[in-house]
Amino acid sequence: MKFADEAIINVKAGDGGNGCVSFRRERFIPRGGPDGGDGGKGGDVILQVDAQLTTLLDLTYPKQFRAQKGTHGKGKKQTGRNGEDLIIRVPVGTLVREGQSGELLQDLLVDGQRFIAAAGGRGGRGNARFATSTLRAPRHAEKGDQGQERNLRLELKLLADVGIIGYPNVGKSTLLSRISSARPKIADYPFTTLTPNLGVVIREDHKPFVVADIPGLIGGASKGAGLGLTFLRHVERTRLLLHLLNISEGPSRNPVKDFQTINQELEASPSSLQGKIQLVALSKIDLPSVRERAKGIEHQFAKMGYRLYLISSQTGEGLEALIEAVYRVLESIPDQGDGQQGNS
Ligand SMILES: Nc1nc2c(ncn2[C@@H]2O[C@H](COP(=O)(O)OP(=O)(O)OP(=O)(O)O)[C@@H](O)[C@H]2O)c(=O)[nH]1
Ligand SMILES: [Mg+2]
């Protein structure tokens, strides 16, 4: 499966132009000195953050990015032209990793931020530069340096404040569609959501916050079951997780066990989700079978130290109380990016 939030690209900066070997040839000046110019510098390949972008989709094809070469130096001390830089636009939250080792090279967070992905080669010096009092007619010039080339893995981490997590089909996307203007696909089967959806929650007297609806998780996800944990990196930077539970499938569903299973997967993930604050909500409270069991489940969670929010994305019940709780948590913890950037 191909995800637009990851792209493997090859970047090659421009080679520097060669220096030139040349001598002045003019009438009446029999032994003109060396006048070979320097080669131009090769263009850099630069990644630049563009806040308008939300995906890396544009980079999945083409995969190769080449900046222009510098041109060679010429006689009469003419310096070669510098190659033009190639600018690749990427969304906010792009992580740049070395293609093979996966080593993190840069974390692109701010609109306009730039990272030189491959540095252009230096232009070679022309022979005019090598003239000395003892060597008046140097017959050599430098070749331009080669432009840097490397493979990079780009990953997009969405910068959401809140991540909605839970089993497939519990109503995560429906909740997002209810509290924000996002319109994710909703359907009565598991794994409807294949890539994260984002929405902004706007309420009077509050700073808007961004919610990410993450594809459903299942037991074994850390070992690749279902869609795996690929998308958890999107919630690494969230300040809070909203853990959604659903028991509408009937009494076979044990919400405490579901809650623990997902949390074990989070523990097993390489990302830094352990210990993130979670709000826990039981969805589809409009269904009589759900409401019947809600009280007992509330008690079970209270014993574990969690307040259980009872919500229905269909009727809207409990949603404002949940959003208020989210605001309270967000106001009590530092902004995204602070102290979390190193954990990628
Ligand atoms: N009765 C009722 N049904 C709901 C409610 N919320 C969601 N549903 C239904 O539950 C089903 C699954 O909803 P989704 O929002 O697609 O669930 P999801 O958690 O995003 O699922 P995945 O994307 O597969 O992980 C849909 O048929 C929804 O209409 C609710 O509050 N009440
Ligand atoms: Mg969904």
Give me the pLDDT at residue 259, please.
Answer: 96
C-alpha to C-alpha distance for 168 and 186, rounded to whole angstroms? 11
Give me the pLDDT at residue 338, please.
Answer: 41
Q: Which residue has the higher pLDDT, 6 or 140?
A: 140
Cα distances from 207 to residues 309, 311, 340, in angstroms, run 22, 23, 21
User: From ligand 1's centre to the CA of 264, what distance in Å?
Assistant: 23
Average pLDDT over residues 139-154: 96
Average pLDDT over residues 68-75: 97
Q: Which amino acid is at 45?
A: V
Least-confidence region, from 85-94, 235-244, 302-311, 317-326: 235-244
Answer whether 284 contacts ligand 1 (Cβ < 6 A).
yes
> Could you tell me what percent of the chain has a pLDDT over 90?
58
User: From ligand 2's centre to the CA of 175, what distance in Å?
Assistant: 9
C-alpha to C-alpha distance for 159 and 53, rounded to whole angstroms? 13
Going by pLDDT thresholds of 50, 70 and 90, the confidence category of residue 329 is: very high
Q: Of 108-112, 213-217, 314-318, which one has max mean pLDDT?
A: 314-318
Tens of pLDDT, residues 234-285 = 777 788 999 999 999 888 889 999 999 999 988 887 776 777 899 999 999 9
From the list 304, 307, 221, the residue with the least C-alpha distance to 261 is 221
Ligand 1 atom at minimum distance from 311 CA? 31
Q: Which residue has the higher pLDDT, 147 or 155?
A: 147
User: 127 pLDDT exceeds 50?
Assistant: yes
Give me the pLDDT at residue 343, please.
Answer: 35
Average pLDDT over residues 325-335: 85
Answer whether 187 contacts ligand 1 (Cβ < 6 A).
yes
Going by pLDDT thresholds of 50, 70 and 90, the confidence category of residue 315 is: very high
User: From ligand 2's centre to the CA of 93, what distance in Å?
Assistant: 22
Give me the pLDDT at residue 158, please.
Answer: 66
Give me the pLDDT at residue 196, please.
Answer: 83
CB atoms within 5 A of ion ligand 2 belong to: 173, 192-193
Q: Contact 118/45 with Cβ under 8 angstroms? A: yes
Give me the pLDDT at residue 340, please.
Answer: 39
Going by pLDDT thresholds of 50, 70 and 90, the confidence category of residue 335 is: low
Query: Could you give the dihedral angle defined by the CA atoms of residues 323, 325, 331 and 337, in that order, rounded to the nearest 10 degrees?
Result: -70
Average pLDDT over residues 74-99: 94
User: 157 pLDDT exceeds 80?
Assistant: no
Q: What is the pTM of this model?
A: 0.64
The token duo for 148 is 């840097």
Answer whether 246 contacts ligand 1 (Cβ < 6 A).
no
Answer whether 170 contacts ligand 1 (Cβ < 6 A).
yes
Average pLDDT, the chain: 88
Q: Which residue has the higher pLDDT, 59 or 134?
A: 134
